[in-house]
Amino acid sequence: MTKIMNVAMIGGGFMGKAHAMAYASMPMFFWPAPAIPHRKVVVDVTDFTAEEARRRYGFEEASSDWRAVVNRPDIDIVDICTPNSVHAEIAIEAATAGKHIICEKPLARTVEEARAMRDAVKAAGVIHMVAFNYRRTPAVALAKKYIDEGRIGRILNFRGTYLQDWSADPDSPLSWRFQKKIAGSGSVGDIGTHVVDLAHYLVGPIAEVTAIASTYNKTRPLQQGGVDKLGAAEKSKDAERGEVDVDDEIVSMLKFADGAIGSLEATRNAYGRNNFITLEIHGTKGSIHFNYERRDELQVMFADDPGDARGFRTIYTGPAHPYGDGLWPIPGLGIGYSETKIIECFDFFSAIAKGRQPSPNFEDGLLTELVADALLRSSQTGKWEKVE
């Protein structure tokens, strides 16, 4: 009989919705499931918002006391979907209580917090994962398969971007993502870490960086009410304004530990770009290109193609590709953001069932935070900075 595991989800906002959908859907896609997620308790900042999340996301109970919940003996898994400022506190408490943990990215605000989280889960011997879900996109997993098989040879260059426009308007609200004390950093931690994770996944460790960071909008209107208005449509030009003390954009050159070179660009101020994650990898025997806004497609070029067939070909992911057995039966039917979270959920529960750490885990999350720290240091010193 498939084991049922009780989940306590801390945070009932945007990411809570994505995770709750994954818990409900994972056994439908991947059957027999490694375990059945039971949506036991959802925690939010007030009893009212917690109860709203419980009703909306299908949890059995609601609470506004995360400490009491993570220490309950009937909780198997703690899912951290909160702003970055409380990731470390919750994760360390949950690890001490012996719970398996999945934490939204970035793992922490600082290297020190990330290291403390890594140390806590290692000491506790629990399963832990960081929710960098974009590497779960089947086309990205297919790129990894080709690279591991040597299909494009030795990697020479990586080029990665993550461009958005939701914060380009200076009169959009002062989300917590614009406040260093809560977020830790701006575009670096919020979206740049996704590119770093993809680079680590596909190429390998980043050893050294040089970067320029910019903040374009120094103030933003203070939010009204207790709900974070990420990318809100309404503008508040005449409202009282608060300081923005994080980066809006990061542009960097990279040196990888194995000798490859590359570049990284992340911005939330690129009008016309919605969720424009791209990567291009050149090797000694071919190239790979991926654009998340066309996430069912992977473009590949192999140098040993005949002369009359040279150039990029488009592969539509489907049953023959990674995770294809659990998704849709026909190539090109299309997946969405929610499917990447479903796959992430499947991999996390599979890791628990097998008793081995998934990837990316808190060790990987710490490595990503070390790169983020180097990027920000370089933007201040104007020099190449080693990833410590």
User: Cβ of 333: how many Cβ atoms within 10 Å?
Assistant: 12
Q: What is the pLDDT of residues 230-282, one digit of tens each?
A: 665 566 677 899 999 999 999 999 999 999 999 999 999 999 999 999 999 99
pLDDT at 225: 67
Is 179 in contact with 213 (CB distance < 8 Å)? no
Q: What is the pLDDT of residues 149-160, one digit of tens each?
A: 999 999 999 999
Q: Which domains does the chain have, with CATH numbers?
A: 4-130 (3.40.50.720), 134-386 (3.30.360.10)
Mean pLDDT, range 106-112, rounded to an integer? 98
The more confidently predicted of residues 235 and 339 is 339
pLDDT at 181: 97
Q: What is the pLDDT of residues 292-338, one digit of tens each?
A: 999 999 999 999 999 998 999 999 999 999 999 999 999 888 899 99
CA distances from 223 to 172, 242, 245, 269 (A): 9, 9, 16, 19
Question: d(Cα 37, Cα 164) in Å, to the nearest integer?
Answer: 33
Question: d(Cα 149, Cα 143) in Å, to the nearest integer?
Answer: 10
Paired strand residues for 110: none
Q: How far is CA 333 from the centre of its chain?
A: 24
DSSP assignment of 240-299, as one string? -EEE--S-SEEEEEEEETTS-EEEEEEES--TT-SSEEEEEEEETTEEEEEEGGGTTEEE
Mean pLDDT, range 120-134, rounded to an integer? 98
Rg of the chain's alpha carbons, rounded to an integer? 21
pLDDT band at 221 (very low <50, low <70, confident <90, very high): very high
Q: Which pTM does this prediction carry?
A: 0.96
Under DSSP, the state recorded for 3 is P
Which is it for the CA torsion 167, 376, 82, 24, positive or negative? positive
Is 211 in contact with 379 (CB distance < 8 Å)? yes
Mean pLDDT, range 346-362, rounded to an integer? 98
Percent over 70 (pLDDT), the chain: 97
pLDDT at 224: 76
